[in-house]
Amino acid sequence: MLLNPKSYDPKFADPATLEILSKTIAFFENKGLAKVKDDDHAARWYGDFVEFQKGERIFARLLTPSRYSEDDDARWDTWRNNLFSEVLGFYGLAYWYTWQVTILGLGPLWQTSNEGIKEKTAKLLEEGGIFAFGLSERDHGADLYSSEMKLTPKEGGGYLGNGEKYYIGNANKAALVSTFGKMADSDDFVFFAVDSQHKDYECVRNVCESQNYVAQYALKDYPVEEEDILAVGRDAWDAALNTVNIGKVNLGWASIGMCTHAFYEAIDHASGRSLFGSYVTDFVHIKRLFVDAWARLNAMKLFALRAADYQRSASPDDRRYLLYSPMVKMKVTCEGERVINLLWDVIAAKGFEKDTFFSMAARDIRALPKLEGTVHVNMALIIKFMANYFFKPGEFPEIGQVTDPKDDEFLFKQGPTKGLSKIRFHSYKAAYASSSCPNVKVFRGQISAFKRMLMLARPSKKQTEDFDFLLILGELFTLTVYGQLILENARIYDVSDDTVDQIFDFMVRDFSGYALELYGKANATLPQRLMAKRMIARPVPDAERYGRIWTGEVQAMRGAYAMNE
């Protein structure tokens, strides 16, 4: 399940995909850890990686829908893009970042009905271009209503663009920057494309101290013609939100990659370090930390893989991915932080050393829950689905594993972003009934207790206006969905019962923790507190299962991978 560059052979990858992934791995292994770290310390722009992808036409093949390319291997295939995100995250968040913001920049370009700009975009990708997404502003963040970027009509046709954007990745070198603003005369929303190298485009500064160039840029009477307009009005609004729907899953995959590399370093360090006459990995608490980190990391990947199946199968009648994709961004990235924290508790001071990958991962893993909408923003979105998920299940054909080499065309035809409360989901009960693992049974009981509380002690109007209270309900709901997709995918990937039971060991503990938090809320009613207590449970201990996981899975990772120096 976990990536190992030394023996990388992803199942179901076609020859072109395997070539792209293998060449990318070879690029980083040939570069070596010392040079990766030197570039990181110097905050050096990753021009070598940009040139590498240009030479191999990697972004062109991965990010050009097939109808706009003459290359038979070009397509927008979420499954292989996820694998590429994982590989980039494995070697460093900076490399992943230029890929991620290129995806965001391309979102409005591939959604537009402007065929001319699409043809231009395909050509620029073929030339090795990177792209940027000019949405947020310094004083308003991603509050689209308050955008101060304006397009003013010119006499005789066309427009002049004026305003600033802030915190925009790639905006120093982007072939096109998809820029969001408003029409000065009508106040309508608008998306338009600009060239970062144009004389009326000012790249003011890099607002971050890192390899990434996260720009503040300004347009000063920048000439915009009709052929540069991507969308106007509601279409522009939808393009912004739908772009985030497309790109936010990449954050979870970056987290999976980083945590996997950090795990290899941590297990090698601890296994080879002797303290007080014993190896570090002989200590009981160290084994527990490693097993917990391993179980959480496997759960992250199982969930993210399964969420991709629903994203790739989406249609106007099946938008379940709008629950699962935000969870890859929110839940998986938060779990990534927990994995790094667990490993850091093992390796302690080693995690600060400047020549390790771990010190980079420990710093950068914190960014991912905070990008493409904070955890709280994504939780607010997820809560909207809770009532239908629990109480109004729909009927859907079963979605299997979707690894077909095809374009995910619906992602660029998502349409209006309204109507979330009408989205239905298949019943979660089938997934939970499919497993006889002891800890899955315990977790199933916790879900039943939570659902009973929602029926018999539902939040009052005042409580629903208290987002701090709703966040706890959201966490319990999120765990329910997380477990469901993990179980669905455990069956698809033939994951052992030992692994599933170990994953649900921490799931039971996490559910109990949030239930206790709900119990302690000052505004929780007596019935809610009583029902919260019924959600608190103890995972079923199994020393033999735990031993098999430790010996056969966790300890077996010792010496399996180390990056070339």
Domain assignment of residue 102, yes or no:
yes
Tell me the helices (H) and strands (E) count for the chain, helix number first. 22, 10
Domain assignment of residue 397, yes or no:
no
Q: pLDDT for 106-142, tens place per residue? A: 999 999 999 999 999 999 999 999 999 999 999 988 8
Determine the average pLDDT of the residues in 269-281: 81
Q: pLDDT for 135-193, tens place per residue? A: 999 998 888 888 999 999 999 999 999 999 999 999 999 999 999 999 999 999 999 99
User: What stretches of 493-550 show up as alpha helix (H) in DSSP?
Assistant: 497-520, 526-534, 543-549
Last residue within a domain, chosen from 130, 161, 190 = 130
Determine the average pLDDT of the residues in 448-470: 92
Per-residue pLDDT band at 381 (split at 50, 70, 90): confident
- For position 34, what pLDDT does the model report? 97
As a whole number, the mean pLDDT across the chain is 95
Write 352-357 long-range contacts (CB < 8 A, 24+).
Answer: 354/37, 354/41, 355/33, 355/34, 355/37, 356/37, 356/265, 357/33, 357/36, 357/37, 357/92, 357/261, 357/262, 357/265, 357/563
Residue 86 and residue 12 share a domain: yes
Last residue within a domain, chosen from 184, 204, 232 = 232
561 burial type by CB count under 10 A (0-12 exposed, 13-18 middle, 19+ buried)? buried
Residue 469 and residue 457 share a domain: yes
Domain assignment of residue 422, yes or no:
no
Residue 439 and residue 315 share a domain: no
Asked if residue 98 lies in contact with residue 49, where contact means CB atoms within 8 angstroms, the answer is: yes
Last residue within a domain, chosen from 130, 152, 174 = 130
Q: pLDDT for 296-346, tens place per residue? A: 999 999 999 999 999 999 999 999 999 999 999 999 999 999 999 999 999
Q: How far apart are CA 450 and CA 458, in angstroms?
A: 10
Element (H, E) at 167: strand 159-169
- For position 372, what pLDDT does the model report? 66
- For position 110, what pLDDT does the model report? 98
Q: pLDDT for 488-517, tens place per residue? A: 999 999 999 999 999 999 999 999 999 999
Domain assignment of residue 315, yes or no:
yes
Strand ranges inside 5-109, DSSP E: none
- CATH code where residue 67 lies: 1.10.540
Asked if residue 89 lies in contact with residue 254, where contact means CB atoms within 8 angstroms, the answer is: yes
DSSP string, 255-310: HHHHHHHHHHHHHHHHHT-EETTEEGGGSHHHHHHHHHHHHHHHHHHHHHHHHHHH
Tokens 């200590």 found at: 283
Domain assignment of residue 202, yes or no:
yes
Structural domain range at position 529 = 428-565
Measure CA 444 to chain center.
Answer: 27
Q: How far apart are CA 396 and CA 34, in angstroms?
A: 51
Residue 144 and residue 93 share a domain: no
Determine the average pLDDT of the residues in 370-380: 72
Q: How far apart are CA 34 and CA 356, in angstroms?
A: 9
Determine the average pLDDT of the residues in 420-430: 93
Residue 214 and residue 142 share a domain: yes
- For position 370, what pLDDT does the model report? 83
pTM over 0.75: yes
If one counts the domains in the chain, the total is 4
Residue 124 and residue 151 share a domain: no
Determine the average pLDDT of the residues in 40-68: 97
Determine the average pLDDT of the residues in 38-48: 96
Domain assignment of residue 551, yes or no:
yes
Domain assignment of residue 401, yes or no:
no
Residue 342 and residue 269 share a domain: yes
In the predicted model, is pLDDT for residue 277 greater than 80?
A: no
Instruction: Give 70's contacts (C-beta < 8 A, 6+ positions apart).
Output: none
- CATH code where residue 208 lies: 2.40.110.10
Minimum mean pLDDT among 108-122, 220-234, 416-430: which range? 416-430
In the predicted model, is pLDDT for residue 458 greater than 80?
A: yes
Residue 139 and residue 114 share a domain: no
- CATH code where residue 339 lies: 1.20.140.10
Residue 557 and residue 437 share a domain: yes
Asked if residue 253 lies in contact with residue 304, where contact means CB atoms within 8 angstroms, the answer is: yes
- For position 235, what pLDDT does the model report? 96
Residue 184 and residue 83 share a domain: no
Nearest alpha carbon to residue 339 among 274, 445, 265: 265
Residue 164 and residue 285 share a domain: no
User: Who wins on pLDDT, 286 or 277?
Assistant: 286
Domain assignment of residue 188, yes or no:
yes
Residue 48 and residue 33 share a domain: yes
Minimum mean pLDDT among 176-180, 366-370, 545-549: which range? 366-370
Asked if residue 98 lies in contact with residue 87, where contact means CB atoms within 8 angstroms, the answer is: no
Q: How far apart are CA 208 and CA 93, in angstroms?
A: 14
The CA angle 539-299-10, to the nearest 5 degrees, is 150
